[in-house]
Structure 1
Amino acid sequence: MFMKKAIFYMIISAIAFTLLNVFVKSLGQFSVYQIVFFRALGSLVFTFPYLLKKKVPIYGNKKTLLILRSVFGLTSMLLFFLSLRYITMGTAVSIRYIAPIFASIFAVFLLKENIKPIQWLFLALAFSGVLVLKGFDKNLQIEGLLYALISAVFAGLVYITIRRIGDKDHPVVVVNYFMFISTIIGGLLTLRNWITPIGYEWLALLSLGVFGYFAQLYMTKAMQIGETNVITPFKYLEVIFTTVIGLLWLNEAYSLYTLLGMLIIITGLCLNLFYKSTSTSSSSQKS
């Protein structure tokens, strides 16, 4: 019962992330700073009232780490949104999902964790998918690829920072810091190139924060009640949903090599996930 609900939550999360990507892609007339501003401001409408209602200290405990997480997250988000200006949504999302590769590298040096050789093999397989995308898809713009790759690097730093924060701060406090800092910086950077939205544009911009908030909320809910190795692969439905909508709605074109590269990335990540889950279960049973 709980597993079915967890899968349902993860599918909702994937749909919400997909709609966020689609609206960001369709709002190309606005600067990425203005899009970040509305994305963050919309989520603050949910996070601030929640913290006040639950009487959770807004300032948190690990303030330096909370600020670092926010800066890393903001940089990753800006670069990802920027990559959508150059490459298809499905490709950008696939590349962003290789963040665990960089998180693993950072974990070795910053957290002194041990990564098994077979895990490096799976992560190398996932990264080879990016090489397939770049090497065989002649229409893939290098600017978009680099923006998406660097976005994944900073997403990896986000994972490491969140792990350092641990359970010292409430999850909504972590998100609230991220959204607050993103709202301030995004707002300041967009002042020079501000474009006043008209009609439907207001709805599209304001919806960014709603989709982003519920995407994160339902992903968290799914992780809380479901087994990681069963639930997490459903997160990659975002790649499928985004690709299909890109094809049908935004007239994006995907070559066979692009689709193959995306499949290789997801396969490598899933194999690594299954291995980690199996190893954790085995260790728990032995102890």
Structure 2
Amino acid sequence: MVFFRSIGTLAFTIPLLLRYKIPFLGTHKKLLFLRGLAGVISLTCFFESLNYLAVGTAVSLRYTSPIFAAIFAMFFLKEKIKPIQWFLFLIAFIGILIIKGFGINVNSIGLLYVLSSAIALGVIFVVIRKIGDREHPLVIINYFMVMAFLFGGIMSINYWVTPTVSQWFLLLSLGVFGYIGQLYMTKAFQLNETNVVAPLKYLEVIVTIIIGIFWFKEEYNMYAILGVFLILFGLIYNLYVKAKQKKDLKKNNLI
């Protein structure tokens, strides 16, 4: 799955890099390599978690990545976390505990995989923040996809089973939908303020839960829904706190 996820996206990134004559290797190779490595780990762990968890539960738990990103940023980027943000992170973490303790069929191995994916995703956020606008977005995405292609290809050699026609379509669509999602998410953040766009991304959780119920016949009890709500509440309100803090700094001419 990691292998085919990369192929679908590379089909877009490589032609665009060639067309606009953008250097493939970039200038911050160590940071780009770290971003790619963390991306491969996050993607692999997430796909693995889907073997143990309902898709909506896995996506919800993966959205705890901003908590880990904030902690990493505090140590490596010297960013401060306000007490209210720690409280909101605690609410989100309580949501995880409720899902684990009272949700339906929440496997411990799956939980470990999806939290590992979230931690690696937190690393990605910090590395991209560190890179800033010094690298073209296509270069950053391409590093990730090339490393995913190599890792997925090598690791799948001993497990290769030739897909059917319908499976070829599904596997290749992973990269296509992944690229389209990244492209329009980036455009959305470019066209509007972060505090307006970012909360809308959490609609993904609701959509995947609905898909899980109707397509995969997954079941969610009230405790699982409560856990998802607490995670979303803690993270979305944290976005509001950060946006308000940034607005106050601008108002006082501090940034």
TM-score range, shorter chain: over 0.9
State which of 116, 130, 152 in structure 2 corresponds to 1:186. 152
Residue 57 of structure 1: SS of its match in structure 2? Answer: coil
Residue of 37, 59, 66 corresponding to 1:93? 59
Asked if 1 retains the 8 angstrom alpha-carbon contact of 2:7 and 2:149, the reply is yes
Amino acid at match of 2:157: L
The aligned residue for residue 85 of structure 2 is 119
Runs of 4 or more above 4 Å deviation: none
Q: Which amino acid aligns with 2:50?
A: L
Does the 8 A contact of 2:104 with 2:224 survive in 1? no
- Matches of 2:84 and 2:52, distance apart in 1: 34
Query: Deviation digits for residues 156-191 of structure 1, max 9, x if unmatched?
Result: 011111111111110110000000110011100000
Where do 1:1-287 residues align within 5 Å?
35-137=1-103, 139-287=105-253
Could you tell me how far apart the structure 1 residues matched to 2:19 and 2:104 are? Answer: 52
Structure 1: distance between partners of 2:30 and 2:106: 38
Return the TM-score normalized by structure 2: 0.97
Which range is displaced more, 129-138 or 53-62? 129-138
- CA shift digits 1:96-115 (9 cap, x unpaired): 00101001111111112111
Post-superposition shift, 1:137? Answer: 2.0
| Aligned equivalents of 2:27, 2:87: Cα separation in 1 | 38
> How many aligned residue pairs are there?
253
Shift of 1:139: 2.1
CA–CA distance in structure 1, aligned partners of residues 230 and 186 of structure 2: 26
1:274 Cα deviation after fit: 0.3
Aligned-pair identity in percent equals 50
Q: Give the Å deviation of 1:138.
A: 5.2
Cα distance in 2, alignment partners of residues 124 and 218 from structure 1: 31
Q: Which amino acid aligns with 2:93?
A: F
Looking at structure 2, the residues matched to 139 and 60 of structure 1 have their Cα atoms a distance apart, in angstroms, of 44
**SS of the residue 2:229 aligns to:** helix
Q: RMSD between aligned alpha carbons?
A: 0.8
User: 1:114 and 1:140 mapped to 2: Cα distance?
Assistant: 34
Query: What is the identity, as a one-letter code, of the residue corresponding to 2:13?
Result: T
Gaps of at least 5 residues in structure 2 are none
- Report SS of the residue matched to 1:192: helix
State the Cα distance separating 1:143 from its structure 2 match. Answer: 0.9
Say whether the 8 Å CA contact 2:9–2:178 is kept in structure 1.
yes
**Distance in 2 between the 1:53 and 1:127 partners?**
45
Q: Alignment partner of 2:202: what SS?
A: helix
Deviates more, 1:151-160 or 1:104-113: 104-113
* Equivalent-residue separation in structure 1 for 2:218 and 2:145 (angstroms): 30
Compute the displacement of 1:119 (Å).
Answer: 0.9
Deviation at 1:209, TM superposition (A): 0.5
